[in-house]
Structure 1
Amino acid sequence: MAVKWTKTALANLVAIVEYIEQDNAERAKSFVLEIQAKTNSLAEFPNMGRPGRVTGTRELVIHPNYIIPYRVRGDVVEILRVQHVARRWPRRF
């Protein structure tokens, strides 16, 4: 299975990493590597995340403060966002 990031998800990730980099460049780098490892595992285990709050999605907890909502479409895992847990959850993607 392929893992594909939406433009929104990539923009979320870039914004988070830029914010972390302001204080700790090494932590920003390790955060990206951690996310890559966890999301890449979805290619082999697409149902490893919990059922999502939005119908048709699943959620991968990648950090105590961040959740990645995603959906499986055919042979593609689509990463929808990198969502901070304190932010309002969208009704749909």
Structure 2
Amino acid sequence: MKIRWLRSGLVSLRSAHAYVQAESPRQARELVVRLERAIQRLEEFPNSGRNGTVPGTTELVIPNLPYLVVYRVMEEEVQILRFFHIRRYK
């Protein structure tokens, strides 16, 4: 299955990266690497997340990080909608 980042997903990732990078460039790089690994697994296991709070979406909690990815599974692709710090997600 193909992974496609929508604009909203990219914007939220860049925002989170910039926030973390202001404190620690190393942690910001690690955040992106771990996120990419988790999202790559969605290519094979697109339904591995939990049901999202918004109908039609799925949420993937990033292992050992306080972040989650909101996505939806379409016919042949996983669309990454948003990336959130769990404390900011409501």
Give the match for residue 82 of structure 2: 81
One-letter code aligned to 2:82: R
Partner SS for 1:55: coil
Query: How much identity, in percent, do the aligned residues show?
Result: 36
- Which whole-Å CA distance do the structure 2 matches of 1:8 and 1:25 have between them? 23
Give SS of 2:48's match.
coil
Alignment TM-score, normalising by the size of structure 2: 0.91
SS of aligned partner of 1:86: helix
Tell me the amino acid that sits aligned with residue 34 of structure 2: E
Q: CA deviation at 1:47?
A: 0.4
AA in 1 matched with 2:80:
I
Which deviates further from its counterpart, 67-76 or 56-65?
56-65
Give the aligned partner of residue 67 of structure 1: 68
- Counterpart amino acid of residue 3 in structure 2: V
Aligned length: 89
For residue 33 of structure 1, what is the aligned residue in structure 2?
33
Tell me which stretches of 4 or more aligned residues in structure 1 moved more than 6 Å: none
C-alpha distance in 1 between matches for 2:89 and 2:48: 24
Q: TM-score, normalised by structure 1?
A: 0.89
Which structure shows the bigger proportion of residues in helix conformation?
A: 2
